[in-house]
Amino acid sequence: MGTLIVVVVLVIIVALIIRSMIKDKKSGKSLQCGCDCKNCSGHCH
């Protein structure tokens, strides 16, 4: 039973992380750039 609870909690955490990444991508933030345009060689919008 304990293993099932841990798996459910991990699935929820991973889903929240993926949701956050998708939300950031839709808002124009990039994982590669970090939105620090002076350091990303002009890859920002």
Q: What's the rounded Cα separation, in Å, for the pair 45 and 14?
A: 28
Q: What is the pLDDT of residues 12-27, one digit of tens each?
A: 999 999 998 888 777 7
Q: What's the rounded Cα separation, in Å, for the pair 3 and 10?
A: 11
Polymer length in residues for the chain: 45
For the chain, the domains span 2-39
pLDDT confidence of residue 8: 98
Q: What's the rounded Cα separation, in Å, for the pair 9 and 11?
A: 5
Q: Which residues contact 44 (CB under 8 A, 6 or more apart)?
A: 30, 33, 35, 37
Tell me the whole-structure pTM to 2 decimals. 0.60
pLDDT confidence of residue 25: 76
